[in-house]
Chains A and B, each alone.
Chain A
Amino acid sequence: MSPLDLDPRIPEGPIDEKWHSWLDTHRLVGPRRRHDYKVIVVGTGLAGSSAASTLAGQGYTVEAFCFQDSPRRAHSIAAQGGINATKDYANEGDSVRRLFVDTVKGGDFRAREANVWRLAELSANIIDQAVAQGVPFNREYGGVLATRSFGGVLVERTFYCRGQTGQQLLLGAYSALQNQINEGRARMHSRHELLDLVLVDGVAKGIIARNLVTGELEAHAADAVVLATGGYCNAYFLSTNAMGSNVTAIWRAHKRGAAFANPCFTQIHPTCIPQSGEYQSKLTLMSESLRNDGRIWVPRKEGDDRPPAEIGEEERYYYLEERYPRFGNLVPRDVASRAAKLVCDEGLGIGQTGRGVFLDFRDAIAERGHEQIEQRYGNLFELYERITGESPWDVPMRIYPAPHYSMGGLWVDYQLQTTIPGLFAIGEANFSDHGANRLGASAMMQCLADGYFVVPHTVTHYLSGLDGHIDNSHPAFAETMTRVSQRLERLRSVGGTTSPTVFHRELGHVMLDRCGISRTRDGLEEAITKIQAIREEFWRDLRVDGDEGELNQTLEYAGRVADFLELSELMCRDAIERDESCGCHLREDHQTEDGEALRDDRRFAHTAIWEYTGKDSDPIRHTEQLEFEELELTQRSYK
């Protein structure tokens, strides 16, 4: 294998000119020639749909793939709260620089400055784009766009469509893609799952996908492949991700040579509904916009199980407000999650399991009135009541942190290209932009910036340098297909007695316990041993019912669990090697006296980049040094 090319390709010049100067000088493809180039886009969430529709709109031939029955069902649809943009409509002095500073600082100085600046710059264009598509953002009385403050920032720069912003933005991108399908420039392959990448001389030239309805394997050739396949928090089994969200596409790409960056950076979201039993299949997020008006507390006395209404003001421990007077309940997600874990570890947690805290709207309702709270959170209250059977109008919500988002992902350069030429990764599937912790309302911003405004240009630049096309008669396709088919056969022929769910749940227990909100070297080492044991048991006792040549959900799921079982080990390794705390990654041996993450910038101001070296050898850890030219590295403080 050739040595990894880890040049981030950051353009020269001042930070606010880098993207413009790149745009001014990148290579173009003439409009008449574009039709001859084919681009595969895998995944149709915010990033995938926006990229596919934009590339098709430019004139390229686009083939889009998703495992769901329709592109509109991608998990972006579940994003609730909002999307950040530096419009400064609230006249607070917001600017590109401020969003940039908040994002780099929020990510605890583990993101690439140049990428974050570009993201902040593009943020305003996204709102313009979405409005033009008919996304019904909330409006003020005068008809102008409404904004609110969200998740650990001091300005109101978050745009929203009630509590369903992700749904509306996705439907906007989906409708743009449907438009291109109607124009004949894009073709959609729903219910198709990528099972491997096809490389020709080390360059990405296509994919092998399984038609999930017929079970048939299909070889699709292209000039470039864009992965927009989302995050991998389902490694924890219980997470806020959809049931189908999986790591398979990026993991297979990793095994074919795409380096994986910061796998241990996974965000545990502070406001989710606590787990109620062992049968549970997923956790539900309650938008963190609720923290704008809700107050978080636990009883001061251990084991105080009186109804919350009977617990007096002085007996309530508003731990975020007390510990972080400036930000209070609006501290960033990692800080809020860790604080919840700490109070529960101290025995102050509420509910049957003792893993929960109250999110209370009593004071907000008294202060702002029923109507205003209803307007802001009505549908979230309904959602909560539907799931728990309790009404937040009468009793405080119970919440607890849950795995939610993976900042880690495939390593990409400034052009969002992975270490495999011709393979791009966008949205949550890549590692860029969020560092060690993502701020609220930034995920949708990144997905759409990548999809509408970055990757269409960088893919163009890449395509213009190619000569000739390859079709799927090239022997690399048949070879890869044989390998995929053998793997499916291996999964089917284990012949054990246990469904993949059982292994997945076991893996989740280990990961949440050892590689979750806080981590220790010993715990992580033990986790690796346990993961290896579960993996061995998986390949000994798995049972997949049914055949390969038909709709077979157990087979699909087994393949995804097999990949999670491999990825999890890399997550733990990465967490061991990152011998510091930063953002979401809290190593118990590295914290300040107040229990805050203590970074080690001298040794770890870098991105960890993992290279796959084969089944039986250890992966190699490379690094990309992060240069901070605009910002001084400081200890984050939300006090």
Chain B
Amino acid sequence: MNFTLEIWRQDGPEAEGHFDTCEVDDIDSEASFLEMLDVLNDRLIHDGKRAVAFDSDCREGICGTCSLTIDGVPHGPRQVTTCQLYMRDFTDGQTIRIEPFRSTAFPVVRDLVVDRSAFDRIQQAGGYISVGAGPKPEPNSQPIHPEIQQNAMDAAICIGCGACVSACPNGAAMLFTGAKVTHLNLLPQGQPERFHRVRSMVRQMDEEGFGGCTNHGECQAACPQEISIKVIGELNIEYRKAMIEKLRRRRGTQEAQ
């Protein structure tokens, strides 16, 4: 198969970026999208040119490193991570436009590589249950209904890729944050820090420059893990509860947290 690629090139965070057009010929239809880029890079290197910088690691859809926007869609047309996209999903002779994930909170590092450390900082703000290593209670002394576990798992499978942010017209990170809050706040282990967690994570999310949700639903449509927008509802509910709890505490009617 042959393709014309319009690829975003940018030398560094401060540099101006632009699209470069190049042809790639003789690509096997069974090659993955990233393998097509590997072939391109080998050829560029061989021709004495600069290879295109892009991130990938596990190449099986779980590490969340891929960060390409393909023809305007984060990860490309099939709602899977880019590494799971195959050239058989495209038509021969097609022109494909490749850009990095676009969001002010994800600055470009070089070419197609972006900085998503803002996600780590949101997680640092409260995306955990504070327990050190050491003796712990017997887990079966606290049964968890399988449905709760399944719902927690549906949220916990987030791979932190950032497609949700990139797809959102507001650049919101609420699907990501909502997924983590939902996972931990559903479980009995997550209860003691429940309100603190949601408050701090939302505060951090705002500080990082992410926008707010206005129900476009683009995040859910782009999420390769098919995380439901319901988690944003959960996030909002949890946040409101946390605010009420804070008010009550201020009025001295409630002690906890």
Give the B-binding residues of A (Cβ under 8 A): 50, 53-54, 57-58, 68-73, 75, 77-78, 89, 125, 127-129, 131-134, 136-145, 161-162, 164, 167-168, 171, 174-176, 178-179, 181-182, 188, 190, 213, 242-244, 276-277, 279-282, 284-285, 383, 386-387, 389, 452-453, 456, 497-499, 501-502, 543, 545-546, 550-551, 553-554
Contacts A142-B143, A284-B60; A69 near B117 (Cβ below 8 A): yes
A545 and B51 in contact (CB under 8 A), knowing A78-B63, A175-B128? yes
The answer to whether B136 and A78 have CB atoms under 8 Å apart is no
Which segment, of B182-190, B234-242, B243-251, faces chain A? B182-190
Knowing A143-B145, A499-B41 are in contact, say whether A175-B127 is a contact too (CB < 8 A).
yes
- Lowest 4 A-B CB distances belong to which pairs? A143-B143, A175-B128, A128-B136, A57-B132
What residue in chain B is nearest A71 (Cβ atoms)? B120
- In-complex Cβ contact of A551 among B45, B53, B133 (8 A): B53
Q: Does B59 contact A545, Cβ atoms closer than 8 Å?
A: no
Q: Does B73 contact A (CB under 8 A)?
A: no
> Which residues of chain B are within 8 angstroms of A77 by Cβ–Cβ distance?
58, 62-63
Which of B149-157, B164-172, B211-219 has 4 or more CB atoms under 8 Å from chain A? B149-157
**Chain B: minimal CB distance from A315 (Å):** 29
* A551 adjacent to B109 (CB under 8 Å): yes
Supply 20 A–B pairs (Cβ within 8 Å), ascending by A: A68-B57, A70-B117, A70-B120, A72-B120, A73-B57, A73-B160, A77-B63, A125-B135, A128-B139, A133-B131, A139-B144, A143-B145, A162-B153, A176-B132, A179-B130, A277-B28, A284-B60, A387-B86, A498-B46, A499-B45
Residues of B within 8 A of A133 (CB): 128-129, 131, 189
Determine if B57 and A242 form an interchain contact, defined as CB atoms under 8 angstroms apart: yes
B22 is an interface residue with CB less than 8 A from chain A: no
Contacts of A277 in B (CB 8 A): 28, 30-31
Q: Least Cβ distance of A340 to chain B in Å?
A: 21
The proximity string for B residues 72-105 relative to A, scoring 1 for CB distances below 8 Å and 0 otherwise, is 0000000010001010100000000000000000
Contact at B63–A242, with CB atoms within 8 Å?
Answer: yes
Residues of B within 8 A of A243 (CB): 56-59
| Beyond A75-B63, A129-B131, 15 additional pairs, beta carbon < 8 A | A69-B116, A70-B120, A73-B160, A125-B136, A129-B136, A133-B129, A133-B131, A143-B146, A164-B62, A179-B124, A277-B30, A279-B39, A281-B34, A284-B59, A389-B86
Report the separation of the CA atoms of residues A285 and B51 in the bound assembly, to the nearest whole angstrom.
29
A411 to chain B minimum Cβ distance, whole angstroms, is 26
> Within 8 Å CB of B178, what residues of A?
none
Q: Are B156 and A78 in contact (CB under 8 A)?
A: no
The yes or no answer to B140 lying at the interface (CB within 8 A) is: yes
Given that A134-B129, A279-B39 are known contacts, is A497 also in contact with B57, CB under 8 Å in the complex? no
B112-138 CB mask vs A (1 if < 8 Å, else 0) is 010111011001111111111101111
In the assembled complex, B206 has its CB within 8 A of some CB on chain A: no
For A139, give its contact among B51, B61, B84, B146 (CB under 8 Å): B146
CB distance from A560 to the nearest CB of B (A): 13
Inter-chain CA distance A529–B109, complex, in Å, is 41
| Nearest chain B residue, comparing its CB with the CB of A176 | B128
A196 to chain B, nearest CB (A): 23
Q: Kindly list chain B residues whose C-beta atoms are within 8 Å of the C-beta of A281.
A: 32, 34-35, 38, 59
- Determine whether B230 belongs to the interface, using a CB cutoff of 8 Å to chain A: no
| A140–B139 CA distance with the chains assembled, in angstroms | 13
Centre residue among B32, B51, B132 by max chain A CB count within 10 A? B132
Knowing A175-B128, A277-B30 are in contact, say whether A75-B57 is a contact too (CB < 8 A): yes
CB distance B123 to A175 under 8 Å? yes
**CA separation between A70 and B115, bound complex, in Å?**
10
A53: which B residues are within 8 A, CB to CB?
132-133
With A and B bound together, what is the CA distance between A281 and B32 in angstroms?
Answer: 9
Residues of B within 8 A of A68 (CB): 57, 63, 65
Complexed CA–CA distance, A69 and B63 (Å): 11
Instruction: Tell me if B12 counts as interface (CB < 8 A to partner A).
Output: yes
Known: A75-B63, A164-B157. A132 touches B129 (CB 8 A): yes
Give every chain A residue within 8 A of B65 (Cβ-Cβ): 68-69, 73
Q: Which of B1-29 contact A (CB under 8 A)?
A: 11-12, 27-28
- Contact residues in A for B50 (Cβ distance below 8 Å): 545-546
> A137 near B149 (CB under 8 angstroms)?
yes
- In the bound assembly, the distance between CA atoms of A598 and B63 in angstroms comes to 39
**How far, in Å, is A132 (CB) from chain B's closest CB?**
5
Cα(A25)–Cα(B142), bound, Å: 34
Q: Which residues of chain B are near A131, meaning CB under 8 Å?
A: 136, 139, 189
Closest-by-CB residue of A relative to B54 is A553
Find B146's partner among A140, A168, A176, A501 (CB 8 Å cutoff). A140
Shortest C-beta distance, A40 to chain B (Å), equals 19
Interface centre among B126, B138, B156 (most CB of A within 10 A): B156
Please name all residues of chain B whose beta carbon is closer than 8 Å to the beta carbon of A72 when the two chains form the complex: 64, 120, 123, 160
Docked Cα-Cα span, A2 to B100, in Å, equals: 52
Q: From B11, which residue of chain A is reached at the shortest CB distance?
A: A550
Q: Are B61 and A386 in contact (CB under 8 A)?
A: yes
Docked complex Cα distance between A181 and B63 (Å):
21
Residues in A with CB closer than 8 Å to B128 are 133, 175-176, 178-179
Q: How far, in whole Å, are A550 and B27 apart by their CA atoms in the complex?
A: 30
Once the chains are docked, how many angstroms separate the CA of A383 from the CA of B49?
A: 36
| Bound Cα distance from A70 to B64, whole angstroms | 10
Cα distance, A620 to B112, chains bound together (Å): 45
Query: Which residues does chain A contribute within 8 Å of B49, judged by CB atoms?
Result: 545
Does B42 interact with chain A (Cβ within 8 Å)?
Answer: yes
- Minimum distance in angstroms from B196 CB to a CB of chain A: 12
B113: which A residues are within 8 A, CB to CB?
Answer: 551
Which one of B51, B84, B136, B139 lies within 8 Å of A145 (CB-CB)? B139
B110 within 8 A of A: yes
B60:A78 contact, CB within 8 angstroms: yes
Docked Cα-Cα span, A46 to B129, in Å, equals 17
CB of B55 closer than 8 Å to a CB of A: yes
Could you tell me if B124 and A550 are in contact, using CB atoms closer than 8 angstroms?
no
Contacts of A501 in B (CB 8 A): 38, 41-42
CB distance from A342 to the nearest CB of B (A): 27
Q: CA A205 – CA B141 in complex, angstroms?
A: 45
Residue of A nearest to B59 (CB): A282
